[in-house]
Structure 1
Amino acid sequence: MRKKASFPTAIPLFIGIIAVSFSSIFVKWASAPASIQGMYRLLFTVLLMLPFIGPYWSELKSLSFKKASMLFASGFFLALHFLLWMGSLKLTTVSSSTIILALEPVFIVFGAFILYKERTSRVSMLGMGVAIVGAVLIGWGDIGVSRDNLIGDMLSVFGTLAVSVHMLIGQKMITQVSSFIYSFVVFVSAVVVFAVYNLFTATPFIGYPGKDWLMFLLLAVVPTVFGHLLFNWLLQYVSATTISMSILGEPVGSSLLAFLLLGEQMTWFQIIGGLLAISGLVVFLNAGRLSRKAIGSQVGEPLKSA
């Protein structure tokens, strides 16, 4: 059962959206392979978390084999997500790649219903539909027909499916372990998966320029600590579906940053789509309050503030 938040969850969700929007920019600025970027991104994040592990050490040592296996599975799918999605950015534009992330809440909703019998209200579905239409418009002008672009789009699709599985496992495990231990073990597991992959493919671990190492560190601090780590922590207060819907803001932020920092152009379709995506996101995040208001008006009762 999820905890009741004593603060507006929209604030950390918004911070997380801004943070993850920088991820594609840093990936584009680095020349290292996606598997190396993903490995060092998470390794540096683990190192940043190590000084704070003291209070959680006993919990870490007492993890059962079943829990550890589930956490490793979550880490495996997170690594797979980074490998596929970051790889897609090498083949297509930021807008084309991040737009595919709009599929995440669709995968999450179906997965949450099948696994956890979690239902989504009509208002939430309406907000989701508007946001997805908006997200599709953002990348409509950039989805290319070249072979590389098509491969990049497919990599992003499978990467989105992988992160959806990661989020669904996380929704279950966050009720059984602390959010810190969940994130720490998942990130360590993903680092191990990346290391094995790089060894197997003979990808060099060192020899990259200084700019790449700076990007590895920025990927760890900005989109991982203030993005994924924050989202993992929020899973104890909100559903995986809500987190995935919030991430719909990433195509908006990433497309704008790509325009400003990478010179990638935005069409009117993308601008209109961004406005629709934000509007749908607002409706989704306020679905519970809107539904209660509708019910209250039907029975003639005033709506109580949350």
Structure 2
Amino acid sequence: MNMRSNRALLTGAALAIAVLAVSSSAPLIAFAAAPALAIAFWRNALSAAVLTPVTLGPRRAELRGLLRGGNRDGLFCVLAGVALAAHFATWMPSVQLGSVATATALVATQPVWQGLIAAAQGRRPSKAAWTGIGLAVAGAAWATGADITVSPQAVLADVLALIGGMAAAVYTALGERVRARTSTTTYTWACYGTCAVVLLIVCLTLKTPLHGYAVTTWLAILAVVAGAQLLGHSMFNYALHHTSATTVSVLILLETPGAALLAWVWLEQQPRLATLPGLALLLSGVAVVIIGSRRLTTRRPPAATLTETAEPTP
């Protein structure tokens, strides 16, 4: 077996592990018997703690330059961290309030909002991307409309998930300004750290309990940190060196059926049949947006693609 074949196998394995890891995020959040805001805080605080030895060690000089007065990259890192906090503070409660399948699909609309942000910045999306945006919006409306017949809480969960997708797009757009000059580790550490501080302030203000949970809840939180937050996105970043960002972005959409299947088997949370056509339309639209935006992405500097800068969301 030649080197190219070995590399292809490693890339395929990395992508499979990444999809499985991020798919576990929403079911674990729904399972954990802790407030969503508290889970969001610990998710980012523990991840930042894991990255601290590298950032303050080999990356110390880069971090010092990032924090230097007058460096706009430092400001954009902080703003990206605030946007990331908004993403977690909306999407994670939506998972606990509503359906895992619907929440995961609606937050996956991030590329749609990313395309609209690009259009506002003068980078006009292609006709295919606009078609995908229309399909995704129609699918989101279908799924949310189906939830109106369920309960106001289900609709609130849908709205929060959509806001979470918008916030993730803002996070990515801000990150594009930094990633061309800052390493992934330093940028991620700064964003996670800022996000944790913002969420800590929110939790303390709202008097959200940050401790006193059962052992199973702590294990679920640690699984989210190790799986979706560190392992999943690390594997996606590895795969980006050997395959296109478009391919990786489309594969990330497999998180939605993966999360729905895990929630069905593990939590006995069967997807609502009325929402399934809307969710399928939504995901198809997002895939069209990603593929249609490939031409636009290739005209930009390669240092900051959608997948490289995104959290992720989920």
TM-score normalised over the length of structure 1: 0.76
Give the drift of 1:187. 0.5
Q: Which runs of structure 2 are paired with 1:209-220 in the superposition (5 Å)? A: 209-220=214-225
Distance in 2 between residues matched to 1:198 and 1:282, nearest whole Å: 35
Equivalence for 1:297: none
The answer on whether the counterparts of 1:75 and 1:190 sit within 8 Å (CA) in structure 2 is: yes
1:284 to partner: Cα distance: 6.4
CA contact (8 A) 1:77 1:165 kept: yes
Q: Distance in 2 between matches of 1:245 and 1:132?
A: 18
236, 250, 254: which is aligned to 2:255? 250
Is the contact made by 2:18 and 2:231 (CA closer than 8 Å) also made in structure 1? Answer: yes
Does 1:105 find its partner at 2:119? no
> Is residue 30 from structure 1 mapped to residue 52 from structure 2 by the alignment?
no
Structure 1 residues 248 and 273: alpha-carbon distance in aligned structure 2, compared to 1, 3 A threshold:
farther
Q: Deviations over 1:180-202 (max 9, x none)?
A: 11111101111111111112122
Q: Unaligned stretches of 5+ in structure 2?
A: 1-6, 296-314
SS at match of 1:213: helix
Measured in 1, the distance between the counterparts of 2:79 and 2:220 equals: 27
- Which residues of 2 match residues 8-23 of structure 1 at below 5 A? 11=12, 15-23=17-25
Alpha-carbon spacing, 1:87–1:277, altered in 2? closer, same or farther (3 Å): closer
CA distance in 2, matches of 1:60, 1:197: 26
Distance 1:184 1:254 in 2: 26
Question: Residue 105 and residue 32 in structure 1: after superposition, are their counterparts in 2 closer, same or farther (change >3 A)?
Answer: same
Q: 2:84 aligns with which of 31, 56, 78?
A: 78
Which consecutive unaligned segments of at least 5 residues does structure 1 have?
1-5, 291-306
Residue among 56, 60, 65 paired with 1:62:
65
Q: How does 1:136-285 map to 2 (within 5 A)?
A: 144-228=149-233, 246-266=251-271
1:295 counterpart residue number: none
Tell me: CA distance 1:203–1:134, structure 2 relative to 1, closer, same or farther (3 Å): closer
Amino acid at match of 2:230: V
User: For the residues of structure 2 that align with 1:102 and 1:144, how far apart are their CA atoms?
Assistant: 23
Partners of 2:76 and 2:177 within 8 A in 1: no
Is the Cα–Cα contact under 8 Å of residues 179 and 233 in structure 1 kept in the other structure?
no
- In structure 2, C-alpha distance between the alignment counterparts of 1:139 and 1:18, rounded to whole Å: 26
Shift of 1:276: 6.7
Name the CA distance, whole Å, in 2 between partners of 1:254 and 1:143: 22
Q: 2:49 aligns with which of 43, 47, 50?
A: 47
Q: Following the alignment from structure 2 to structure 1, what is the Cα–Cα distance between the partners of residues 51 and 188?
A: 9
Structure 1 position 113, deviation (Å): 2.3
After TM superposition, give the deviation of residue 128 of structure 1 in Å: 6.4
Q: Confirm or deny that 1:96 pairs with 2:99.
A: no
- Shift of the 136–248 alpha-carbon distance from structure 1 to 2, 3 Å rule, reads farther
Q: Residues 173 and 233 of structure 1: is their aligned pair in 2 closer, same or farther, counting only changes over 3 Å?
A: farther
Aligned ranges 1:126-141 → 2 under 5 Å:
none
Show the counterpart of 1:303. none
Deviation at 1:231? 5.6
Separation (CA, whole Å) in 2 of partners of 1:169 and 1:232: 18
Task: Give, in angstroms, the shift of residue 80 of structure 1.
Answer: 1.3
Distance 2:161 2:199 in 1: 18
Give 2:298's aligned residue: none
- Contact 2:111 / 2:286 at 8 angstroms: preserved in 1? no
Distance in 2 between residues matched to 1:15 and 1:158, nearest whole Å:
28
Q: Aligned residue for 1:300?
A: none
